[in-house]
Amino acid sequence: MKSFTGIIFRKELIDIFRDRRSIIITFLLPIVLYPLMFWFIGSQAANEMDGPSATAIAADAKAAAELRAVLNDPIFEEANIFLSENNDPVAELENGNADVAVITDGSVLRLVYDPNKTSSAMSNNHVTVLLSAYNQTAQAKKLAEMGISLSDLAPLSFLSVSLEAETGKEESGAGMFLTMMLPMLLVILLSVGGMPTAVDLFAGEKERRTFEPLLCTGARRTDILSGKLGAVTVMSMLGALASGAGIFAGYMLNPRAMTMGLDDAQGINLPPGMLVLTLLIIMAMAVFFSGLHILLSTYARSIKEASTYGSFVMIASYIPVFASMSKLGKDFDFWTAFVPVMNVTGSLKMVLNGINDMKYMGVTLGITAAFVGVVLVVGRYMFKKENIMLRA
Amino acid sequence: MLALNKLTKHFKAVKAVQEVSFSVDKGEIFGLLGANGAGKTTTLRMLATMLTPTGGTASIEGLDLLKDPDKVRSHIGLLFGGDAGLYDRLTARENIIYFARLCGKSGEEAGKRAESLAQAFAFTEYLDFPAKKLSKGTRQKIALARCIVHDPAVMLFDEPMVGLDVTSRKDVEDFMVLLKEQGKTIILSDHNLNITERLCDRIGILHKGELVALGTLNELCETNGCKDLEEVFFKLAGRDSE
């Protein structure tokens, strides 16, 4: 019997691309919003990393003089510490007019800061680091006058070296921030990307009463399911691609902003086989989430009901994503390859960290494909159940 | 030609349609009457193969509903009232071509059919307008064109005139008469008793899933001692029958 899948698929895509709201939400918003978001968040962090500064207020002339004498040292030459005097520096700190309050009570210089204010906490850290360095330099100088080296006093000398540096391998990887953020963003985008389309193509058809005439045509229900699943998957993939383009645009605008000011991205060197495997995993994940949204939308009586069910999928997908958010590529044990969604995050992090673990990624692809199979079988079953298809 | 033989549908404990039997000949309009929930739409949905009967069967153009649902669908056209059920973002032409393609027509055939149906229903100037921009009457004309795009032998109309103005209702009525003259087998389910009286050759009255009356208008009036269809309806399916 003739298959009508292609005809349905084509019509659905035409229909979707004429829906301005879907186009704006799926394509335009990510392309515009992601660069803006990364530029805003990232550039703030980058600025703080590039040129930290502190506004300190000393309680009295004594504290001010003590600190000023210290700040004259060359170590503070480019420290950007601005000092002024006020008899109630704590009140000034509370009012947000200062980042650090400097109080002296004899021998100790107390730096008071507000841990609930980022600029205050960072300023305190900035000043503390510089004062420690000043202390260490002063100590080393005094010891040198006595003919003693500071390192001679240390019970242990140590040096922290990366595995790549130690083994002489070329450093690679996308850096810590990108490794943490990109897989999480991609999986979340895939989990929601197909939802508006799935809701429109199934619950929407029920609500608009276009489903019944469609069921009376020569198309079998499996043709209808396949055609629509294809369209939802394409939209999900295109949505993720648009978001990727938005993130890339953000990177092009300000590369340091994308890495939150950390210069640890070395670039990814991906062999062709791994690239294909990665793309297959991403596609399988897109089909899986699309299928899941289709099942829920098929069961729903209305667009509103389908959207409610869809939000459960989004929340459920966040659990494995956030559970592995702080992990890097090598933190994923092999058993996690059997945990759906988390295994995709793990695979992507491995790729971003330059780890080519074919076994882990192969299992991930297999597990994701198996879930796609389950979704399709359930979908076929649901499409044959008249109490579901005509549920109103 | 269409024949129902003890067609039954139960939804768990609810007996929606109970052993309904009747037949409709070529060139005949059969009126199916009943209060809300009497089983009219369920019967039409079974004939359109959307629902599987719990018992009994039906044949359409000699094809068994249960054994050949795919072939049965190629012989039926189904039209709902209220909302025409068109794809709003597609043009009138695209709506018709889409359904023609899903009924097995080639792209070229479907295009020609859309043109000829637009001429027949006088909406050629709206062919390339998105459906959402068209009036309710024009939308219903397009829905009519869509449901006969594959030239089906049997037409099922479920309250096709709901929400239409007088002119559009007349268009639909004229169209049904034309189909009858072309020898189509037609079932019309409608709450409007005047239209049923005017258009239908025979009438069946459903009450709580059972066919409680079947015959021509005169036969129904004579058998029940009533002067018109409204009296018959209230006697058999109205509150008096509770």
Q: Please write the tens of the pLDDT for every residue from B169-210.
A: 888 889 899 999 999 999 999 888 989 999 999 999 999 999
pLDDT at A262: 53
Domains and CATH numbers, chain A: 5-46+173-389 (no CATH), 51-150 (3.40.190)
pLDDT at A194: 83
Q: What is the pTM of this model?
A: 0.77
Contact B80/A387, CB-based, under 8 Å?
no
pLDDT at A9: 96
Q: What is the sign of the dihedral through the CA atoms of B159, B162, B164 and B169?
A: positive
Instruction: Tell me how far apart the alpha carbons of residues A11 and A21 are, in angstroms, rounded to a whole number.
Output: 18
* Residue B121 binned pLDDT confidence (cut-offs 50, 70, 90): confident
One-letter identity of residue B31: G
- A284, A309, A279, A316: which is closest to A294 by C-alpha? A309
Residues of B with a Cβ under 8 Å from any A Cβ are: 11, 45, 48-52, 70, 73-74, 76, 78, 80, 82-83, 85-90, 94, 98-99, 101-104, 130, 143, 146-147, 150
pLDDT at A265: 55
Contact A213/B85, CB-based, under 8 Å?
yes
Contact B85/A216, CB-based, under 8 Å?
no
Is the model more confident about A150 or about B82?
Answer: A150
Measure in Å the smallest separation between the Cα of B214 and chain A Cα atoms: 27
Instruction: Tell me how far apart the alpha carbons of residues B140 and A390 are, in angstroms, rounded to a whole number.
Output: 22
The mean per-residue pLDDT over the stretch B159-167 comes to 83
The position carrying tokens 């043009």 is B91
Burial of A152 (0-12, 13-18, 19+ CB in 10 A): exposed
φ and ψ at A83, to 5 degrees?
Answer: -110, 135
**Contact residues, chain B, for A4 at CB < 8 Å:** 101-102
Domains and CATH numbers, chain B: 8-75+153-216+230-242 (3.40.50.300), 85-151 (no CATH)
- Are A85 and A64 in contact by the 8 Å Cβ rule? The answer is yes
A14, A18, A219: residue with CB nearest B102 = A219
* Residue B49 binned pLDDT confidence (cut-offs 50, 70, 90): very high
Q: For each of chain A's 392 residues, which pLDDT tens digit applies? A: 678 999 999 999 999 999 888 888 888 888 888 788 777 766 666 565 555 677 778 777 887 787 788 888 887 777 777 887 777 888 888 888 888 888 877 778 888 898 888 888 888 888 888 888 888 888 888 999 988 887 888 888 888 887 777 887 766 665 677 777 788 888 888 888 888 888 988 999 888 888 888 988 989 889 999 999 999 889 888 887 887 788 777 777 766 655 555 555 555 566 778 888 888 998 899 889 989 999 999 999 999 999 999 988 888 888 988 888 888 888 999 999 999 999 999 998 888 888 888 999 999 999 999 999 999 999 999 988 888 888 77
Instruction: Tell me how far apart the alpha carbons of residues A324 and A180 are, in angstroms, rounded to a whole number.
Output: 9
Q: Please write the tens of the pLDDT for every residue from B219-235.
A: 999 999 998 899 999 98
CA distances, B61 to each of A105, A359, B26, B52, B58 (Å): 104, 59, 10, 18, 10
Give how far the C-alpha of residue A307 lies from the chain's centroid of Cα atoms, to the nearest Å: 24
CA distances, A160 to each of A163, A165, A166, A328, B73 (Å): 10, 10, 10, 19, 75
Q: What is the distance in angstroms between the CA of the first residue and the CA of the last residue of chain B? A: 34
Contact B87/A210, CB-based, under 8 Å?
yes
| For residue B73, pLDDT beyond 80 | yes
Strands B14-24 and A109-113: unpaired
Contact pairs from chain A to chain B, CB under 8 Å? 75
Strand residue runs (E) in chain B: 2-11, 14-24, 29-34, 55-60, 63-64, 76-80, 154-158, 185-189, 202-207, 210-215
Contact A210/B86, CB-based, under 8 Å?
yes
Contact A7/B86, CB-based, under 8 Å?
no
CA distances, A334 to each of A339, A344, A353 (Å): 10, 12, 16
pLDDT at A47: 60
